[in-house]
Structure 1
Amino acid sequence: RPKSIERLNQTSSVSEFILLGLSSRPEDQKPLFILYPTIYLVTITGNLLIILAIHSDPQLQNPMYFFLSFLSFTDICYTTTVVPRMLVNFLSVKTISYAGCLTQMYFIYALGNTDSCLLAVMAFDRYVAICDPFHYVTTMSHHCCALLVATSCSLPHLHSLLHTILLNQLTFCDANVINHFLCDISPLMKLSCSSTFLNEIVIMIEGSVVLVTPFLVIIFSYIRILIVVLKIPSAAGKCKAFSTCGSHITVVALFYGSIFYVYLQPVSTYTVRDHVATIVYTVLSSMLNPFIYSLRNKDLKQGLKKLVGRRKPQTAPS
């Protein structure tokens, strides 16, 4: 009989999964356990400082920083979904319940796609600011900004809910070892002993649309920005226009480069080599975003200096 039929006839069912983690070598566990809490603390601190600086400085009260504050908040939640579970795995507690695994997968997809949508919204904001500056205030009104953020948060949750429900319909027999450090849809589908045809079709159609559409918005926005900027006669004007986009382009390249590497490939080819790319978009990009934005943005850098009290206190006359 075919192997798939034999697995379906087995009476056992999976109530928990085993996450193999980043490395199975015991000598790697302690260095990784030290490294990732450090990354986590830097990520939380950096993004929290960005949020506090934006909300405390009147000069940063505009749509660009409004979207950036939500991106930082999403990055905090995103990293919290991944890193604490990794730390538990380093302590040799490699099992995760079936419900816990699906819950982690749900939030990874919901928050990851929220990041993607917010990056598209920020690109649209730069497009309006550079290509249609006279209508910027009316186009990017408080109502419009709130609507864009609400859409960027709600649609990814619907997308994630769809894939979580479809995955929950699959049957898992004996195989419960996930060769990964988190619960991702591709390695989970490889463990299923029932047909994953519908899941793969939905991933290829709906999943690709959700992943690629924000990226296309970003590409379209920057093509229009490039056309407008190249028409600016002065070199100083061109540099000023490009400087407002440099940080965002860097973040987009880091985030989408790693995501496309992992997900724009067949499920059957998903291997341990994708771990590094997954770490980039789930952990490292969230840590690096505050540095990328603050180092290249004078207003935000000044806001951070005010927040942490780096200005010299005035001394009373003797």
Structure 2
Amino acid sequence: MSRNEALRAVARHVGTEATGGRGLGGETTLVTLADDRRVVAKRGAGARATQAEAAGLRWLAEHGDVPVPAVHGADDEWIVLDYVAPGAPGIAAAESFGRGLAALHLRGAPAFGSPPPGGPVDAWMGLAPMRNEEHADWPTFYARHRVEPYVRTCVDAGLLDRGQAAVFDEVCARLPELAGPPEPPARLHGDAWSGNVHWAADGRVWLIDPAAYGGHRETDLAMLRLFGTPLLDHVLGAYADAARDAGAPLADGWTGRVDLHQLFPLLMHAAVFGGGYAGQALAAARAALRA
């Protein structure tokens, strides 16, 4: 990636001269402005990717429940965001994040699968395409747009055979009974793995890099568990307390549905990265059927 391209994108969207920059990894550049502010310029996977991220950040920021970086601008290639300096995990920050995430989820969404306002139906989660199409119930949406497409990709790539794919077919057929009590659609971050839970120097937890949509709140909670979010017991404890205090406690047995909600990210990782993720997804599907 050309550093000069990132500097030009920042100047175009912020309206202030960019004086320097350094790579943060991948397609992301930390840029210093002439007025000493710092912003981040990210090159997306395409117009839908940058539009989806910008719309998602704005939607999540609407009520200030959890801090997210401000969007300075986005185009078909670039998104420019505030830079948030990193810090260390702490219990107070973890508990505040848990309470804020509960409030964010309860802001709701128009439907299961609804994209953020202004966001595209055909969006992205990291490097994977992700379709946000509205449905009246979560089991139908989850099967059609979060499980079945990625199972097909894994079968076509030789990562799953037909017999293994049948396990996912059974999960999808039984989703109405496996999903627990019906809930209204929640406002999800959508990709809440530990790398997108940003412990900041200001003593707060910020959410970055969303793949936001209307979904089931247990999906975000399952994603937090998937790759080892620090101080997770404090996050989840504060979340459960806040949800209960708001009159919307987590449904009984939600911890037994973690495998069900982890199917999507595991299948998505298998479709993009291959390796052992297909086996992990298959194990999670079998565990979901036993729960």
TM tier relative to shorter chain: under 0.3
Higher Cα Rg: structure 1 or 2? 1
TM-score w.r.t. the length of structure 1 is 0.21
Higher helix share: 1
TM-score w.r.t. the length of structure 2 is 0.22
Of structures 1 and 2, the one with the larger relative CO (CA 8 A, separation 6+) is 1
